[in-house]
Amino acid sequence: MAAAPVTRPSAAPVAVPAPAPQRGEGMMARNAVMRAAITSLVLVILLLYLMPLGYSIATSLKSKEQASDVNAPILPSAPERFEFEGRTYDVYRVPTDEGEQRWALVTPGRNSSMFVDPDDPGAGLFEWEGRWRTLTPAYRLAFQWNNYQRAYEFIDFLRLLGYTLMYAGITTVAATTSAAIVAYGFARFKFPFRNVLFIVLISTIILPPQVTLVPTYAFFFQLGWVGTWLPLIVPQFFSNAYNVFLLRQYFMTIPTAMEEAARIDGAGPIRTFVSVILPQAVPALIAVSLFHFFFAWNDFFGPLIYLAGNADINPLAVGLFRFNGLYSSEPQLIQAASILTMIIPLLVFFFAQRFFMQGIVLTGDK
C-alpha cells in the first residue's frame, strides 16, 4: 500500500521591518532649525538696533512742518493736494463700497460733502455721504534733500571736519605707536619689577577721569596750553593702559622663534620690533587704531574743556552741540548734521572691519 504524500505547512510570510530613519538626517534637520532660529533672532536684534539710525535718516529728510506733524508717516511725506478750477484742495483717503479712494475735498458738509477725483477731474463734483472730519489725509513722499546742504553750510562743516581729522589722525598715530613700543617692552624684555609696573599701569584704567580733571587742567593752564590742541594731542604720545594691554596680549602670542631667527641674522631689538613684530601684529594695530580713532572722532568733553576760549578750532562733536543749541527748533537740520558726521567713521569701519575683527580675536599664530 502506497504511503500518502506528506504535505508540509507553507511558511508564514516574514514581515520586513521598515528602515529606521538615519540618525544623521534628524541631526541635520535639528541643526537647520537651530540655525534658522538663531539667524532670525539676530536679524530681529539687528533691526531693533538700527531703528534709531533709520528714524534719524527719515527725520533728516523731512521739512520742519513734516517733522512737527504728528499724523504724518515715518517716511518723509507731505499732505497731498490737488488743484481744481484754480483752487487747491486737500486730498483724503475716502472709504467706499469699491475700496478706499483718494479724493479731493471741495465742499465740506456736516453729513455729506462734495469731492472730485484727481484721476478723473473731468467727471466733475460728486457727493459722498459721511462726516469728512473722520477721514484720514492722504500723504505723498516728499524728500527734502536740501536739508543736508543747509546743515553743511550752517555748521561750516569743512572747517569742523578738518580739525576733527587732524585731531583724530595725529592722536591715532601717536597712541598706537607709543602703545606698541611699551607693549613690546612688557611682552619681550625682562627687567626688575616688570609685573608690578604692568599691574600699576593697568590699574589706571579703573581710575575715574573726574579724579584727575582738575589737577590736569591746572597743570596745562600753568603751561599756557589751554585754548590750544596741545593738551589733547601731547598726552597721546605717552601711551594708554588699555592699548598697551591689548597689544601686549597680542605680542605674547607671536612665536619667539621668529625673533630668535632675526637675532641670529644680526638684527637688534629695534630692527626685530620693526621687521618682525609689527608685520605680524597688523590686525591688533588696526584694532587699536580704530578704537582710538572712533574715540577721538566722538570726543566731546576734552575739546569742550580745553578749547572753551577758542571756538574757531572746535571739532565736529562740539560744533554739533553748539548747532543743537542754536537750532533746537529745527530737528531735521540737527539730524542731517549728525548723519553727515557719521559718514566717515562708517566708511572707515566698513573697509577695515576684517582686520578689526582679527585684532579683537587676539591670535597671532599663523
Cβ atoms 285, 180 nearer than 8 A: yes
pLDDT band of 360, cuts 50, 70, 90: low
Neighbours of 37 (CB within 10 A): 10
Cβ atoms within 10 Å of 287's Cβ, excluding its own: 25
Cα separation values, 133 from 93, 94, 102, 356, Å: 11, 11, 15, 57
Higher pLDDT, 9 or 105: 105
Q: Which amino acid is at 300?
A: F
What are the tens digits of pLDDT across the range 73-82? Answer: 888 888 889 9
Q: What is the pTM of this model?
A: 0.75
The string of pLDDT tens digits covering residues 141-171 is 889 899 999 888 888 889 999 999 999 999 9
- Identify the pLDDT of residue 359: 56
Beta-strand pair 87-96/81-84: antiparallel
**Cβ–Cβ < 8 Å for 340, 320:** no
- Residues with Cβ within 8 Å of residue 308, at least 6 apart in sequence: 226, 227
- pLDDT, residue 366, reads 43
**Cα distance between residue 217 and residue 235, in whole Å:** 12
* Homologous superfamily of the 148-361 domain (CATH): MetI-like (1.10.3720.10)
Phi then psi dihedrals of residue 131, to 5 deg: -95, 120
At residue 300, φ and ψ (nearest 5 deg) are -115, -45
Helices (H), 224-281: 230-233, 241-253, 256-264, 269-272, 278-280
Strands (E), 97-222: 99-107, 112-116, 126-129, 136-137, 139-141
Rounded to whole angstroms, the Cα distance separating 362 from 96 reads 65
pLDDT at 365: 45
Count Cα neighbours of 200 within 13 Å in the Cβ-side half-sphere: 5
3-class DSSP state of 140:
strand
Give the other-Cβ count within 10 Å of 208's Cβ: 7
What are the tens digits of pLDDT across the range 180-222? 999 999 998 888 988 899 999 998 888 888 888 899 999 999 9
13: left (phi over 0), alpha (psi -120 to 50) or beta: beta
Task: Check: CB of residue 167 under 8 Å from CB of residue 233.
Answer: yes
Report the DSSP pairing between strands 136-137 and 126-129: unpaired
